[in-house]
């Protein structure tokens, strides 16, 4: 089973390394990881995708909660949430193929962000399955290079803790 965890952490040097190293040393594989500063510059949000049963999820949560710089850990996969993955992909596209690549990009609501004599670079964002479907369609053209951010996710509505609650949990 796929679990999406959101961890609010103190924005300090070495936190990412400490957390990812701890999980790796215990044999947990991180399927996806994205980290960025929140609306509070003292806090960052880490979004993990972990594959495993409920016992794996519980062990990962417990290990994360033991770390001093971790303020809060939420399993958002059981809630109503929005997730996105951002990808840049460079595809081989001779002049005769560019219109087909452009049409597919438009269907997937992507953007062509760079063009060279024999390649195009495309930006796509969306759910993981949408990004994967686009990759599969681009394979016949020839994928030259591909980079992805990893999943980010946020719970819908107002079911999240406020900054004040996060600060209280930090104290």
Q: How would you label 105-116 residue by residue, b for 16+ Cβ within 10 Å and e otherwise?
A: beebebebeeee
User: 163: pLDDT confidence band, cut at 50, 70 and 90?
Assistant: very low
Tell me the per-residue pLDDT of 123-147, one tens digit each, with 9 for 90 and over: 999 999 999 999 999 999 999 999 9
Q: How far is it, in rounded angstroms, from Cα 171 to Cα 166?
A: 9
Classify burial at 21, counting beta carbons within 10 Å of its beta carbon; exposed 0-12, middle 13-18, buried 19 or more. Answer: exposed
For 88, what's the count of Cα atoms within 13 Å in the CB-facing half-sphere? 9
Q: Report the pLDDT value the prediction gives residue 160, as an integer from 0 to 100.
A: 52
- Interval 54-83 mean pLDDT: 91
Q: Report the pLDDT value the prediction gives residue 162, as an integer from 0 to 100.
A: 44
**Residue 164 reports pLDDT greater than 60:** no
Q: How far is it, in rounded angstroms, from Cα 80 to Cα 157?
A: 9
**Cβ proximity of 73 and 57 under 8 Å:** no
Q: How would you label 41-62 residue by residue, b for 16+ Cβ within 10 Å and e otherwise?
A: eebbbbbbbbebeeebbebbbe
Say what the alpha-carbon torsion angle 62, 67, 73, 77 is, to the nearest 10 degrees. -60
Q: How far is it, in rounded angstroms, from Cα 118 to Cα 91?
A: 9
Examine domains 2-79 and 82-148 and report if their fold is the same: yes
Which long-range contacts (C-beta less than 8 Å, at least 24 apart) are formed by 110-115? 110/134, 113/88, 114/90
**Residue 70 reports pLDDT greater than 90:** yes
CATH code of the region 2-79: 3.30.70.260
- Listed by start position, the domains of the chain span 2-79, 82-148
Q: Report the pLDDT value the prediction gives residue 168, as an integer from 0 to 100.
A: 53
The pair of three-digit structure tokens given for residue 151, joined into one six-digit string: 């999943």
- Interval 97-103 mean pLDDT: 95
Q: Report the pLDDT value the prediction gives residue 96, as an integer from 0 to 100.
A: 87
Q: Report the pLDDT value the prediction gives residue 127, as an integer from 0 to 100.
A: 93
Q: How far is it, in rounded angstroms, from Cα 46 to Cα 44?
A: 7
The CATH class of the 82-148 domain is alpha beta
Contacts for 33 with CB less than 8 Å, ≥ 6 apart: 20, 46, 47, 48, 49, 150
């Amino acid at each position: 089973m796929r679990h999406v965890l959101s961890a609010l952490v103190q924005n300090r040097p070495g936190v990412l390394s400490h957390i990812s190293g701890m999980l790796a040393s215990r044999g947990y594989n991180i399927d996806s990881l994205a980290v960025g500063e929140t609306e509070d510059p003292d806090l960052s949000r880490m979004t993990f995708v972990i594959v495993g049963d409920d016992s794996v999820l519980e062990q990962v949560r417990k290990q994360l909660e033991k770390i001093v710089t971790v303020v809060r850990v939420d399993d958002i996969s059981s809630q109503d949430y929005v997730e996105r993955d951002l990808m840049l992909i460079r595809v081989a596209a001779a002049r005769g193929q560019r219109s087909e690549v452009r049409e597919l990009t438009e269907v997937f609501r992507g953007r062509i962000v760079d063009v060279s004599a024999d390649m195009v670079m495309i930006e796509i964002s969306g759910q993981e399955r949408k990004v994967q479907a686009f990759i599969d369609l681009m394979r016949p053209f020839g994928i030259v290079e591909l980079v992805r951010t990893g999943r980010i996710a946020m719970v819908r509505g107002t079911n999240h803790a406020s900054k004040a609650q996060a600060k209280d949990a930090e104290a």
